[in-house]
Chain A
C-alpha cells in the first residue's frame, strides 16, 4: 500500500488554522461594511438631506471624480510603462493650476474671461497644458531616467524628492499664500434640469473631461505611438527588441500624463477656487488610489476608479458618517478617501476589476 493511498485512507483533518492576522483583516472588512450599511440606514432613517442636496453631492462627486480620473490616468500610464509610482504627479497638477492662474487672473480682471468664456478657457487650458507637460518632461529627463533600470525603493524615493522640490520651487517663486482663483459670473450660474440646479462649472468640467479622456483613449488605442506604449507596458524588453524606442515611448507617456495633469489642475483650481503650492498633494494621493482601484496600468480602470472615488468621497460623509451621528462629517471626507485607498492596497492591489483588467495593460 503506497503512502499516497495510506494518506487518503486517513481521516481528513480539517485544517482550521486561522491566523490572528486574518482575523484582524476580516474585522477590518466587517467594520468598514458595518459603517457603510449602518451609516446608510441611519442616513435614510434620519432623512436629514433633501433630494436636491443629494443631487448636489452626486453632482459634485462626479465633477471631482472626473478630475481624479484625469490625474489617475497619469499615474496609471507611467506605472504601466515604467513600474514607477510617479509621486510628483500631484505636483505636476499643481504646476498646471498655477500656470492657469497667471493667465486666468489678468483675463478676469480685464473682463475678457467673462465676455469670451470659450477663448478665455482655451487660453488658460493651453498654457496649463504646456506648462505641466514641460515640467513633467523635465522631471522625467532629469530625475527619473537615470533610474530606469534600478529596482527597489530608490526610484520612489527620488520621486518623493522631486515632489518636494517642485512644491518648494513654486513656493519660493510665487509665495506660500493661498491665491484665490478668478470666478467669472458664468461659472457661478446654474441651470435647472428636472427641478434640480446644475452648476455650469460642473457640466463644463465633466463634459471637457469626457472629451479629453476619450481623446486620450483614442490616441492610446489607435495611433502608432499608443500601440508602442501598450507594447512597452506589456513587456518593455520585448518591445525594445522589436525596435520600439523605449525613450520615445516614455516621453510620449509623460507628455500625455502631463497634459491631463495640466487640465486637471485648472479644473481642480476652478472647483476649489484657490491655488497654493501644496495643493497637488492630496488629490495626487487620492488619484493614485483611484488608479490602483481601477487596476493600475489600465486606462479605463483609472477613469472608472477616479469617478468612483469622487462619488464615494462626496456622498460618503453624509451617507455613511452622518448616519452614524458623527459630528461635522464633511471634515472627514479625506478620511473616507484614504480609507478606501488603504483598503484597496490591502485587499485588492490588482484593482476591483481583478486580474482581467490588470492583465489588459494600458
Chain B
C-alpha cells in the first residue's frame, strides 16, 4: 500500500454565518492523481485554500507527510512542497513568462540581496542555474521562444501551461490543479490531459485536481472525492463514485450528470 502524502482531517470553514465546509476528511496517496469534484459552490476551491493556508480552516487539521501544516503561512506551505494553480489564471501579468518561472523558483535560490548587489560568484552561479532550469521548464510547458513575452500577452492555453510551469518551479511534492481545463474545447482538453500525465510522469509528483469535466475526472483519476454543499458525500475509485446514488442525486439535472451516466 502506498503512503499517505496529504491528509485533510475534519476540516471546517465558516465565513461569519456561512458554512463553506464542514467536517471534510480525505487522504491523498503519494504518487496518485486524486480528484475533487462537486457541483458549483460545493466548496472545492475552499478546500484548496484550506490546504495551502490562503484560508485558515476554522476547525480540523491538515497534515502533509508527518507534519501538521494548518496554521502555517502560505509561504511555509509552499516551502514544504505544496504548490497550486488557480481557477481563474493568476499569473504575474506584468512580468515576462520566464520571470514568472523564476519567481516560482524563489524558494530554491539561495542568493540574498547584498549578494545580488555585489554580484558575487555565488549569486551568478545561482542565477545561471535558475535560468537554465527556467529554460528547461519553458521547453517542457511548450513555451520555448515565448519566454520574453509579458505574461498578459500570452494566449489562454499558454497562460494555463505557464501557470502549471510556475507551480512546478517550486519543485512541489504535491501539485494542486484548480480546473486546469476550464474554458477549453474538447481537443484542448485532451491536450491538457496528456500534458498533466506528462507532468506526473516526468516530475513524479502527486496531483490533487479540481475538475468539472467528468471525462477528465473519470479517465485520469486514481481516486475521487465528491463534495456537495461543503460536505463530503462520496469517495472512491472513479467507477465506484459514478454509481453512487448520492453523487447521482447531487448532479442530477446538471450538465455534468449527462456526462457522468453514459461514461
Pick the residue among A3, A4, A15, A355 that contacts B70 (CB under 8 A). A15
- Residues of A near B68 (CB, < 8 A) are 13, 15
Taking the nearest CB of chain B, how far is it from the CB of A210, in angstroms?
A: 33
Taking the nearest CB of chain A, how far is it from the CB of B29, in angstroms?
A: 8
* Complex CA distance for A17 and B53, rounded to whole angstroms: 14
Interface residues of B in 19-62 (CB under 8 A from A): 25-27, 61
Taking the nearest CB of chain A, how far is it from the CB of B87, in angstroms?
A: 20
Interface: A142 (CB within 8 A): no
Do B71 and A7 touch across chains, with their CB atoms under 8 A apart?
no
Interface: B213 (CB within 8 A): no
A355: nearest chain-B partner, CB-CB: B16
Taking the nearest CB of chain B, how far is it from the CB of A8, in angstroms?
A: 6
- Residues of B near A2 (CB, < 8 A) are 4, 7, 27
* Complex CA distance for A17 and B27, rounded to whole angstroms: 25
- Encode A1-40 as 1/0 by CB contact (under 8 A) with B: 0111011101001010101000000000000000000000
Interface: B86 (CB within 8 A): no
- Residues of B near A17 (CB, < 8 A) are 71-72
* Complex CA distance for A4 and B4, rounded to whole angstroms: 9
* Complex CA distance for A10 and B68, rounded to whole angstroms: 10
- Residues of A near B61 (CB, < 8 A) are 7-8
Pick the residue among A3, A15, A19 that contacts B7 (CB under 8 A). A3
- Residues of A near B25 (CB, < 8 A) are 4
Do A3 and B4 touch across chains, with their CB atoms under 8 A apart?
yes
- Residues of B near A7 (CB, < 8 A) are 7, 9, 61, 63
Q: Which of A6, A7, A8, A17 has the most CB atoms of chain B within a 10 A radius of its CB? A: A7
Do B8 and A4 touch across chains, with their CB atoms under 8 A apart?
yes
A13: nearest chain-B partner, CB-CB: B68
- Residues of A near B4 (CB, < 8 A) are 2-3, 6
Pick the residue among B16, B27, B71, B72 that contacts A4 (CB under 8 A). B27
Interface residues of B in 59-79 (CB under 8 A from A): 61, 63, 68, 70-73
- Residues of B near A10 (CB, < 8 A) are 63
B67: nearest chain-A partner, CB-CB: A13
Q: Which of A3, A8, A355 has the most CB atoms of chain B within a 10 A radius of its CB? A: A3
Number of interface residues of A (CB under 8 A): 12
* Complex CA distance for A19 and B72, rounded to whole angstroms: 10
B25: nearest chain-A partner, CB-CB: A4
Taking the nearest CB of chain A, how far is it from the CB of B213, in angstroms?
A: 28
- Residues of B near A13 (CB, < 8 A) are 68
Given known contacts A8-B9, A355-B16, is B71 in contact with A3 (CB within 8 Å)? no
* Complex CA distance for A362 and B144, rounded to whole angstroms: 51
* Complex CA distance for A355 and B70, rounded to whole angstroms: 25
Q: Which of A4, A6, A13, A15 has the most CB atoms of chain B within a 10 A radius of its CB? A: A4
Pick the residue among B10, B16, B27, B72 that contacts A3 (CB under 8 A). B27
Pick the residue among A4, A15, A19, A355 that contacts B9 (CB under 8 A). A4
Taking the nearest CB of chain A, how far is it from the CB of B40, in angstroms?
A: 19
Taking the nearest CB of chain A, how far is it from the CB of B249, in angstroms?
A: 24
Do A15 and B8 touch across chains, with their CB atoms under 8 A apart?
no
- Residues of A near B26 (CB, < 8 A) are 4
- Residues of A near B16 (CB, < 8 A) are 355
Taking the nearest CB of chain B, how far is it from the CB of A152, in angstroms?
A: 10
B15: nearest chain-A partner, CB-CB: A355
A2: nearest chain-B partner, CB-CB: B27
Interface residues of A in 136-158 (CB under 8 A from B): none
- Residues of B near A355 (CB, < 8 A) are 16
* Complex CA distance for A269 and B54, rounded to whole angstroms: 49
Interface residues of A in 229-275 (CB under 8 A from B): none
- Residues of B near A19 (CB, < 8 A) are 73
* Complex CA distance for A203 and B7, rounded to whole angstroms: 66
- Encode B72-98 as 1/0 by CB contact (under 8 A) with A: 110000000000000000000000000
Do A6 and B7 touch across chains, with their CB atoms under 8 A apart?
yes
B4: nearest chain-A partner, CB-CB: A3
Taking the nearest CB of chain A, how far is it from the CB of B144, in angstroms?
A: 32
- Residues of B near A4 (CB, < 8 A) are 7-10, 25-27
B26: nearest chain-A partner, CB-CB: A4
Taking the nearest CB of chain A, how far is it from the CB of B6, in angstroms?
A: 8
* Complex CA distance for A320 and B68, rounded to whole angstroms: 45
Q: Name 8 A/B residue pairs within 8 A (Cβ), A-sorted.
A: A2-B4, A2-B7, A3-B7, A6-B7, A7-B7, A7-B61, A19-B73, A355-B16
Q: Which residues of A contact B (CB under 8 A)?
A: 2-4, 6-8, 10, 13, 15, 17, 19, 355
Closest 5 CB pairs of A and B: A3-B4, A3-B27, A15-B71, A3-B7, A4-B25
Can you name 16 extra interface pairs (CB under 8 A) apart from A6-B4, A7-B63, A15-B71? A2-B7, A2-B27, A3-B7, A3-B27, A3-B63, A4-B8, A4-B9, A4-B10, A4-B26, A6-B7, A10-B63, A13-B68, A15-B70, A17-B71, A19-B73, A355-B16
